[in-house]
């Protein structure tokens, strides 16, 4: 218990010092509140952002409406839902394609040049085209998120398949395993660490892309709210939105860590 407390104190010492210095300098007038508001002002704004802007009558709304009646929950849920849907689209295409490209050299040689031309282009560069193709609203945002998640999953899946130990493949083939059984029982489990790394990176990229997409194509979400706050010079609300993005990203990363440990628990058993 004492060791955990000591580790916790060490981990929060630097952030606490930075926040205390920031608060002191802001109160001393070193920083303009319009440019860099004090941490206490940001917390107050975040709390107001969390609460409903108008009194809510539960008798006239659904249970879900009561739970997400404030701006912040609505924006956070909107952004997270776009990340999930966009990632499922991009990752759902990249995973089987990566498995085939990693297993079949001919398919890899045919598709790799075209994909390598598109891969270095940032998804943000596709914003004008996405608006022309899909208009405004969720479709262009989902397209950009799917594009951002596609390549990390694809590249890591191909690498995972190509790094499967050939001894395992030959042993399964000698035992009469069909191609389908070989994929399910040998190649996919052996490539899973690479695939999960790609999934984790892809979700991170998707979360970055959704914020930028919401600043251009939609009228709800954390990115849209930050852009709105910039128009009115609400620096404290901008920082409140940034804090929310960080908390959502931390939650997603912790979830992915737990999912990785659960899916790869068999590896720990072998290593032990």
Clarify whether residues 97 and 227 are in a common domain. yes
Predicted confidence band at 151 (pLDDT cuts at 50, 70, 90)? very high
Half-sphere exposure of residue 189: CA atoms within 13 angstroms, side-chain side: 11
Query: Is residue 128 pLDDT above 90, yes or no?
Result: no
pLDDT per position as a tens digit, 53-90: 554 444 444 433 433 346 778 888 888 889 899 999 99
Residue 252 within a domain: yes
Q: Count of domains in the chain? A: 2
Predicted local confidence at residue 16, as pLDDT = 81
Q: What is the pLDDT of residue 268?
A: 58
Are 41 and 127 in a shared domain?
Answer: yes
Report if residue 7 sits inside a domain: yes
- Kindly report, residue by residue over 216-233, the tens digit of the pLDDT: 777 778 888 888 888 777
Q: For residue 157, what pLDDT band results from cuts at 50, 70 and 90? A: very high
Asked if residue 62 is part of any domain, the answer here is: no
In a domain, 55, yes or no: no
Residues 24, 38 within the same domain? no
Does 116 lie in the same domain as 9? no
Same domain, 98 and 24: no
Q: Are 236 and 247 in the same domain?
A: yes
Going by pLDDT thresholds of 50, 70 and 90, the confidence category of residue 47 is confident
Same domain, 217 and 133: yes
pLDDT of residue 68: 39
Taking alpha carbons only, the member of 154, 145, 158, 169 closest to residue 218 is: 145
Flag whether 251 is in a domain: yes
Q: Are residues 17 and 133 in the same domain?
A: no
Q: What is the CATH number of the domain that holds 153?
A: 1.10.3720.10
End-to-end alpha-carbon separation of the chain, Å? Answer: 26
Q: Are 248 and 53 in contact (CB under 8 A)?
A: no
pLDDT of residue 29: 77
Same domain, 238 and 262: yes
Let me know if residue 56 belongs to a domain: no
| Structural domain contains residue 87 | yes
Domain hosting residue 197, numbered range: 33-50+67-271
Do 42 and 18 sit in the same domain of this protein? no
Question: What local confidence, expressed as pLDDT, does residue 52 receive?
Answer: 60
**pLDDT band at residue 266 using 50, 70 and 90 as cut-offs:** low
Rounded distance, CA 225 to CA 72, Å? 9
Share of the chain above pLDDT 90, in %: 12
pLDDT > 90? residue 93: yes
Asked if residue 117 and residue 198 are part of one domain, the reply reads: yes
Reduced to 3 states, what is the DSSP secondary structure of residue 176? coil
User: For residue 72, what are the contacts with CB-CB under 8 A and spacing of at least 6?
Assistant: 46, 49, 50, 240, 244
Task: Output phi, psi for 86, to 5 deg.
Answer: -60, -40
Q: Would residue 61 count as lying in a domain?
A: no
pLDDT above 80 (res 238):
yes
Residues 45, 3 share a domain: no
């Amino acid at each position: 218990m004492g060791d955990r407390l000591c580790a916790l104190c060490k981990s929060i010492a630097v952030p606490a010092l930075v926040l205390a210095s920031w608060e002191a300098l802001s109160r001393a007038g070193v920083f303009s509140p319009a440019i860099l508001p004090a941490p206490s002002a940001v917390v107050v704004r975040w709390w107001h952002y969390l609460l409903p802007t108008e009194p809510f009558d539960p008798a006239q709304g659904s249970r879900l409406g009561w739970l997400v009646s404030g701006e912040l929950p609505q924006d956070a849920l909107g952004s997270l839902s776009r990340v999930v849907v966009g990632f499922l689209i991009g990752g759902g295409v990249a995973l089987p394609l990566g498995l085939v490209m990693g297993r079949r050299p001919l398919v890899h040689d045919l598709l790799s040049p075209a994909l390598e031309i598109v891969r270095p282009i940032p998804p943000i560069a596709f914003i004008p085209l996405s608006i022309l193709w899909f208009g405004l609203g969720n479709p262009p945002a989902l397209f950009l998120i799917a594009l951002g998640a596609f390549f990390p999953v694809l590249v890591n899946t191909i690498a995972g398949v190509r790094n499967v130990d050939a001894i395992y493949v030959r042993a399964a083939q000698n035992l009469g395993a069909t191609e389908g059984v070989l994929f399910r029982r040998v190649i996919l489990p052996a490539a899973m660490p690479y695939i999960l790394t790609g999934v984790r990176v892809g979700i991170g990229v998707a979360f970055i892309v959704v914020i930028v997409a919401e600043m251009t194509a939609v009228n709800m979400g954390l990115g849209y709210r930050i852009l709105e706050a910039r128009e009115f010079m609400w620096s404290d609300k901008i920082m409140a939105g940034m804090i929310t993005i960080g908390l959502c990203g931390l939650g997603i990363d912790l979830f992915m860590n737990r999912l990785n440990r659960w899916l790869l628990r068999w590896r720990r058993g072998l290593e032990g």
